[in-house]
Every structure is written in C-alpha cells, then in structure tokens.
Structure 1
Amino acid sequence: MKVSGMLWTGLMALSLAGCATRGPAVDSPVLRDPEALAAAQASQATRAAWLASQADWSFSGRVAVSANGKGGSGRIDWEQADARYEVALSAPVTRQSWRLAGDLQTGAGRLEGLEGGTREGGNAADLLRQATGWDIPVASMVHWARGLADPTAGVEGLEYDTQGRLRALSQHGWRVDYLDWFPAEGARPVLPRRVEARRDGAAVKLAVDQWQMAPQ
C-alpha cells in the first residue's frame, strides 16, 4: 500500500523540523567486570520492578523514523494507561498530526489523521507499516522506551555501561542503544533520554524531553 500524499508531505516538513533528534552516538564502554556486571543486573531488576508498578505514564519529545532511506521526524507524545496507549506525532511546520491508539492485550490499533480517513487493524505495527511504510515494533517500544526488555520475547543480547546502566539490548532482530539517561529522582530510577533502535534498513530515534509518572 502506498503512503498517502498528505502523509509524505507532512513527513518532509517533519524532516526539517526534527533535526534535534540527531547527534553523535555515545560509544560508552561495555561493562565487563563480573562483580560489577552482577550488580548492574540486580539494579536493572530493581528498576524493572519499580517501573512495572507504574501502570500509567507518559513522555514527550522528538522522534525520527526511517525505512529504506525514507522517513521524517517531529514531535511525539506518548500516553500509557495500563495496556492502552495513544501516540501522537505532529509536524510543527504544516501543523499536521497523526494519532495511533492501541491495546497491548489485543494488539489492535487505530490510526487517525491519514488522507482517506481513519484506519483500524488487528495489529498496530502492521497497520502502521501498511499506512506509512514505517517499521516500528509498537508493542515492544512500550518497554524499550523505558529501558526495559519486552517480556513477551526472548532477549538476544544485553549490555551495560560502566555506570551500571543498560547500554544496549537486542530483541526481534532489533538492536536498541541507550545513548543518554535522565538521572534518578526520588524513588524514580534513571530513565532513558536518547534511544536508537535499528534493524536492517529501519531505524527509530527517540529523544525524550520529559517523563511523567502518575502520582501514587
């Protein structure tokens, strides 16, 4: 299915507006010491447990998406309410916007803002791929964006940096690199600031400006 003319017009504007997602990759050393690695793994398990207790959360920032040399970038706002999510993408130059709503339990999705009207499907990632050409594992991104492995799939690789933070993980054939982190704040653990996910000719780059967790 071809991408709509309106969508590609918006994406070209997004490409000009989203340059802030670009930047040098951080080549932090991989943690090798067995004792320090065990401590990092324990710290990650504690992080995962705390984040699992936060059913509702959101972040805002910038995203860049590319597939086979084509793509764009712009603002992103992600709102998670337990298993349900809404992801809004906006193009500041054209003031166009698109919204993807989905459910982790059913896998279904609804995409609004496309030329020709709203589209729905039983698989949010497939719906997004068919409508836009973007290869984004949406259900896994719910976890990857927070610096967690997707619990529904096997982990093909994990790396930690010398500060004990997750440096990279591999799942579904994707490599997800964590290039920068927000420091811990109160009970909240460190959270990703810059994330890059790549597989074959596809890439998703995320630069988070702000995280929000629902008050307990």
Structure 2
Amino acid sequence: MIKKLLLLTLWVLVSGCSTLWQSKPQAPAETLWLERQSQLKQLDNWTLRGRTAIQQGKEGWNAGVSWHQSPDQFEIRLTGPFSQGAVNLSGDQNAVLLTNSSGERYVAATPEQLLEEVLGWQLPISALRDWVKGLPFSEAAVTYRELDRDGRLVALEQAGWQVSFMRYVPFQGTDVPDKIFIKRDQLSVRLVVSAWQSE
C-alpha cells in the first residue's frame, strides 16, 4: 500500500513538473503582425546605413546609402552611383532637392519625379520609407502579403512592386529588415543594411 502511495505521489510530481516546463503557445502570426505594426509605426526618427544594387534593364549601379528619416523630413545620401561621387536627396512633404557631386541642384515635387528626371531611376522612395521598416506603404493597396510565424512580412505586393524581406535584425524592441529585394518590370533593387540607429 505504501509502495503504491509513493508511486502515485511520484507520478503527480512528475506530471506537475512536465506542465511547468511546457512552452507557452505562440500567438497566431496575424496577432503578432498587428502588434508589430503598432511598434513599427512609432519608429519615425531613424538612420540606416548600407549598400544598394540597382538594376534597370541591362544597366546596373552599386552605391553606398545613408538614410536619415525624421517625422517631417528625410535625407538620403548615395555614394558612388555611376562612379561620380555622391548624390544627396533631401526633402519634406512640400518639395525635394537633389544635389550631385558637382554641386548642381535639382528640385521637384516628389523624390520619384526627381530621380527619374535626373538619374533615370524609377525608384519608389516614398514607399521605401515604410518598406525598409517592414511595413506596407500606407498610401497604396496591398495585393499580396505573406507573414512568417513571428508575424513579420516575408513578401509583399503593392502598386505592381514585389517586395521580399529576406532577413530581420532586432532594433528598438522589435525587428526590422536588413536585407530587402524589390522588383517591378525591368527594375530591381537590392538593399542590404549594415546598421540601424535611432535618433
């Protein structure tokens, strides 16, 4: 009788320990995605540094990139496109200024218009502000979206652009992409971030 009682007690203790050591079930990806969006939207003052490779048709360019973003203004510095030094792109909601290494200055209403007129690049800079954080562009409909099990964007389609988020790193209590591939028609952009910094 005593032996049976001891065995029963041991079984209860083992069962209890097993329950304690069970991992907490992970929240569904959609729930985690909603939480992530809230966190990422609060990241409105940051700097990233890295490199980008741009391929348009048969032509290709590589450049170092430094991007500072504040709530109302941005400044993007591209180092080395066309082997002609640096290109500086800065602006706000009213106008955008491009300055090249020769000191020539160009102004337009949007960064997309300015880059196409001066460099011949059709880059979605306005959308990239959201994409680089791992968010959909707030001003375009989402036609396709794929999440990983942690509620992070893996693939996205907006306005004909296909965006692949290939890797994430921790930043400010959440995760942000550090490797992104963007493609539409004959234009593709690869961005590899070497450093994220909060301001």
TM interval, short-chain normalised: 0.7 to 0.9
Decide which moves more: 139-148 or 154-163: 154-163
Change (3 A) 1:136 1:82: same
Q: Give unmatched runs, 5+ long, in structure 1.
A: 1-35
- CA distance, structure 1, for counterparts of residue 145 and residue 41 of structure 2: 19
Identity of aligned residues (%): 29
Matched, 1:203 2:184: no
Q: How many residues align?
A: 175
Matched residue, 1:121 = 108
RMSD, aligned α-carbons: 2.3
- CA distance, structure 2, for counterparts of residue 114 and residue 209 of structure 1: 24
The one of the two structures with greater contact order (alpha-carbon pairs below 8 A, sep at least 6) is: 1
Give the superposition deviation at 1:124: 1.3
Give the superposition deviation at 1:143: 0.3
Q: Secondary structure at the match of 2:28?
A: helix
Matched residue, 2:57 = 68
Contact 1:66 1:134 in 2 (8 A): no
Change (3 A) 1:199 1:88: same
Change (3 A) 1:120 1:148: same
Matched, 1:144 2:131: yes
TM score, norm. by length of structure 1: 0.74
Q: Give unmatched runs, 5+ long, in structure 2.
A: 1-25
Give the superposition deviation at 1:81: 0.9
Matched, 1:50 2:35: no
Decide which moves more: 62-71 or 113-122: 113-122
Residues 1-216 of structure 1: matches in 2 within 5 Å?
39-91=28-80, 96-103=85-92, 105-106=93-94, 108-113=95-100, 117-182=104-169, 184=170, 188-214=173-199
Contact 1:111 1:118 in 2 (8 A): yes
CA distances 1:155-176 after superposition (whole Å, capped 9, x unpaired):
1110123444211111110000
- CA distance, structure 1, for counterparts of residue 127 and residue 183 of structure 2: 13
